[in-house]
């Protein structure tokens, strides 16, 4: 009779995993090494600030260091591809939104992926999108801005966004189409460089996700925050006029939700581990207060993958509806 040692048992167990078609790391404790949190924009923008807040909490919850890496460019395409090119082992995940996960495959033929190549772990926040103007434009409300824009037909106003076919770019196009305004889009690799040029007067206005630095720049006379496109304002944004106060476009309501994504095929228990860490983060009073100060509505914990999938579908359907209004072909269909 053959005697099985502990070494033989482990070898046998490993062979069983292989026979079942499971990779060798499937049986390992997770996480067993540092994780990479990909931010698809340069450092200094709203996404980067939010990701670093969560990274601190994730490090505690997962008992492993979470390293933030920034990959700007391509309206988030580069960062998204970074996650999809990594192994589906849960160690690399994306601080994402429709700008990177949904819009590129719907609009950009260069995108080699589809939205469903990602699995959504859980939503984290809904960000307010604001319209800012450079110093020197004599307006203080949304309606005054729209009236001013109509007077510039010989010299169209230029506006900054985080990239071509970002939600912010599409909002500018939708605004121009709806009100017959001559806007000229200027794409950037992220919010930070767009904001820098706006403050420097290189572009006339910007459509960007709110961050607290806007208020400081406004106090310094470097730009003006005209309005939020939100209907219900986050606690930290009560000082900014909501779009509902506009007489011309009170229904032009747009926000952007975000969350964490992994590559499709990542083991369900590893997705669940990240979802649990997200749930622990969003209920911490200090994290909620920091995010709300940045103009975000913080999500409640997501308990199951089915709930996360439903949130992702709602996000995808909303973007598809906007493309239909703009008459843009959806390449992901």
User: What's the pLDDT tens digit per position in 174-212?
Assistant: 999 999 999 999 999 888 899 999 999 999 999 999 989
pTM: 0.83
Tell me the pLDDT tens digit for each residue of 298-331: 999 999 999 999 999 999 999 999 999 899 999 9
CATH fold of the domain at 29-127+256-326 = D-Maltodextrin-Binding Protein; domain 2 (3.40.190)
* Pairing verdict, β 157-161 and 183-187: parallel
CA distances from 167 to 2, 22, 99, 288 (A): 65, 39, 6, 25
Pinpoint the alpha helices (H) of 180-222.
191-199, 213-219
State both tokens at 249. 């476009």
Identify the architecture of domain 128-255 in CATH. 3-Layer(aba) Sandwich (3.40)
Domain-wise residue ranges, the chain: 29-127+256-326, 128-255
Question: How many angstroms separate the CA atoms of 130 and 241, rounded?
Answer: 10
* 150 contacts: CB under 8 Å, gap ≥ 6: 179, 181
Tell me the pLDDT tens digit for each residue of 34-93: 999 999 998 988 889 899 999 999 999 999 999 999 998 888 899 999 999 999 999 999
* 93 contacts: CB under 8 Å, gap ≥ 6: 35, 36, 37, 38, 83, 121, 260, 261, 262, 274
Residue 154 has what pLDDT? 84
- Judge if 29-127+256-326 and 128-255 fold alike in CATH terms: yes
Cβ–Cβ contacts within 10 Å for residue 148, how many? 16
Tell me the pLDDT tens digit for each residue of 211-261: 899 999 999 999 999 999 999 888 889 899 999 999 999 999 999 999 999
State both tokens at 295. 């103009």
Residue 23 has what pLDDT? 52
Question: How many angstroms separate the CA atoms of 96 and 132, rounded?
Answer: 23
Question: Of 47 and 33, which is predicted with more confidence?
Answer: 33
Strand partners, 242: 228
> What are phi and psi for residue 186, nearest 5 degrees?
-125, 105
């Amino acid at each position: 009779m053959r005697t099985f040692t502990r070494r033989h048992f482990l070898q046998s167990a490993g062979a069983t995993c292989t026979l079942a078609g499971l990779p060798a790391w499937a049986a390992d404790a997770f996480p067993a090494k540092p994780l990479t949190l990909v931010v698809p924009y340069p450092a200094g923008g709203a996404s980067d600030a939010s990701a670093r807040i969560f990274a601190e909490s994730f490090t505690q919850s997962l008992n492993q260091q979470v390293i933030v890496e920034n990959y700007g460019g391509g309206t988030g395409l580069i960062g998204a591809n970074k996650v999809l090119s990594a192994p589906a082992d849960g160690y690399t995940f994306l601080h994402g939104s429709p700008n990177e996960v949904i819009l590129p495959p719907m609009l950009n033929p260069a995108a080699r992926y589809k939205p469903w190549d990602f699995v959504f772990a859980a939503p984290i926040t809904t960000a307010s999108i604001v319209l800012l103007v450079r110093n020197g434009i004599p307006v203080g409300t949304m309606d005054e801005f729209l009236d001013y824009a109509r007077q510039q037909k010989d010299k169209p106003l230029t506006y900054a966004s985080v990239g071509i076919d970002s939600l912010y770019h599409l909002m500018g196009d939708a605004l121009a189409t709806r009100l017959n305004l001559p806007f000229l889009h200027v794409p950037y690799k992220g919010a930070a460089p767009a904001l820098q040029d706006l403050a420097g007067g290189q572009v006339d206005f910007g459509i960007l996700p709110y961050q607290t630095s806007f208020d400081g720049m406004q106090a310094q006379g470097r730009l003006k925050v005209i309005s939020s496109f939100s209907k219900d304002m986050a606690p930290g944004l009560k000082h900014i006029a909501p779009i509902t106060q506009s007489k011309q476009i009170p229904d032009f309501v747009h926000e952007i939700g975000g969350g964490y994504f992994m590559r499709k095929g990542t083991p369900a228990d590893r997705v669940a581990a990240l979802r649990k860490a997200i749930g622990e983060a969003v209920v911490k009073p200090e994290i909620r207060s920091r995010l709300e100060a940045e103009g975000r509505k913080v999500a409640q914990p997501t308990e199951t993958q089915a709930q996360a999938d439903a949130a992702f579908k709602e996000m995808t359907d909303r973007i598809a509806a906007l493309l239909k209004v703009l008459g843009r072909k959806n390449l992901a269909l």
